[in-house]
Amino acid sequence: MKTIDSFDVKGRRVLVRADLNVPLDGGTITDDGRIRASLPTIKTLAGRGARVVVCAHLGRPKGKVAAEFSLAPVAERLSELLGEQVAFASDVVGESARSVVEGLADGQVALLENLRFEPGEDSKDDAVRGGFAERLAALAELYVGDGFGAVHRRHASVYDVPRLLPSAAGGLVLAEVEVLKRLTDELERPYAVVLGGAKVSDKLGVIANLLGKVDRLLVGGGMAYTFLAAQGHEVGGSLLQADQLDTVRGFLAEAEKRGVELVLPVDVLAAEGFASDAAFDVVDATSIPADRQGLDIGPRTRELFAEKIADARTVFWNGPMGVFEFEAFAGGTRAVAEALVKSGAFTVVGGGDSAAAVRRLGLPEDGFSHISTGGGASLEYLEGKTLPGLAALEG
């Protein structure tokens, strides 16, 4: 992939596909991590005299304009972080966008409205998507792909536009790919992967692929209960994907065959209901009462997982260990995060809820080797899939 150093950008309009898909509470950004991660590329281009046109998506408005998905709060926060006003276009490729872009001087930055307000952005119809891509590409002379969190999508701004303009990868994408190569091609062992989150079905591909690469696979979060049930244990009212039991039994057998240490919870916090103030008891993971549901890994499991992480040389973590949004059930996720910080290993936090948890729990971001901005993209890369956005930049 070409880098932005390949281009003379001074005085030229550069379209930067960033990932600014931040969580909002009303109009308030609750985690600006993705905006901050996009700053270096934007600052570099602006510093070299480019007329920077940033485009991004927010949420899933499904091709319709929806005020709650406007990027206006992001434009405001981006202005604060850059220390200068970011011009905001009230549409994507319409009159406002054209006017804002035409008004840029060298070194100035603009942000277009939410890409997904346009049905062509994520259309499955190549012609519809291609038509929108042409209108978007017409706003600029060069393209920089820096939205790693979207590179696994075959969307117009990610896949089609870089095929229409001279293109390069931004610093964020290059850094993410370098890290992922260290997780696939340049491994230091022991290699431990910690997977959590709600559903095992979300991670079928990555588990299947990782069983051929890892030394240890630690499974927590809601997905752990399907593994426990596959072993024949009662999981009470805990999250269970019964339709995945046979698949999980296959994973258990494959792990044993390959000599992969597959580590499951030995105790859990079994709550009376799904609520922040729900009463709970610590129970063995193999005997969760019928009227209880597991909402976090227990103290013995936290110690066990920390022990399995301690002597690893490479650790990838994706997915919380419990309902970390509730303080009473955040302890397991905190314990895993702290174990990564203490380990001395090359540690990668795989985006999404894991990255949000690190910031929500107030843990030092520099305590990890890398915090990814793209959970889904990271997982698909580790599955061995071709990511459309990367393929377009390479092609």
**pLDDT, tens digit (0-9, with 9 covering 90-100), for 56-83:** 999 999 999 999 999 999 999 999 999 9
pLDDT at residue 137, as a whole number = 98
Residue 352 pLDDT exceeds 80: no
To the question of whether residue 115 is assigned a binding role by annotation, the answer is no
Peptide bond into 299 cis (omega under 30): no
Q: What is the secondary structure of 87-142 as a DSSP string? A: EE-SSSSSHHHHHHHHTPPTT-EEEPSPGGGSTTSS-S-HHHHHHHHHHHHTT-SE
Residue 20 assigned to a binding site: yes
Give residue for tokens 């989150």: 197
Q: What pLDDT sits at residue 286? A: 94
What pLDDT does residue 350 have?
Answer: 87
Q: pLDDT averaged over the chain?
A: 95
pLDDT of amino acid 289: 96
Judged against a pLDDT cut of 90, whether residue 107 lies above it is answered with yes
* Model confidence at 395: pLDDT above 80: no
Q: Is 21 marked as binding a ligand?
A: yes
Does 153 show up as a binding residue in the annotation?
yes
353 is in an annotated binding site: yes
Ordered structural domains, the chain, with CATH: 13-172 (3.40.50.1260), 179-383 (3.40.50.1260)
pLDDT of residue 305: 98
Q: What is the pLDDT of residue 151?
A: 96
Q: What is the predicted pLDDT for the residue at 374?
A: 85
- 19 annotated to a ligand binding site: yes
269-274: average pLDDT:
97
Please list the active-site residues: 34, 199, 352, 376
Q: How confident is the model at residue 356, as a pLDDT?
A: 83
Question: What is the pLDDT confidence band of residue 373, given thresholds at 50, 70 and 90?
Answer: confident
So what's the pLDDT on residue 31? 87
CB 15 within 8 A of CB 161: yes
**What confidence tens digit (pLDDT) does each residue in 233-262 have?**
999 999 999 999 999 999 999 999 999 999
Any binding-site annotation on 94? no
Q: In whole angstroms, give the CA distance from residue 293 to residue 323.
A: 12
pLDDT range class, residue 87, cuts 50, 70, 90 = very high
The answer to whether residue 361 scores a pLDDT higher than 90 is no
Beta bridge partners of 271: 280, 293
pTM: 0.88
Annotated binding-site residue? 34: yes
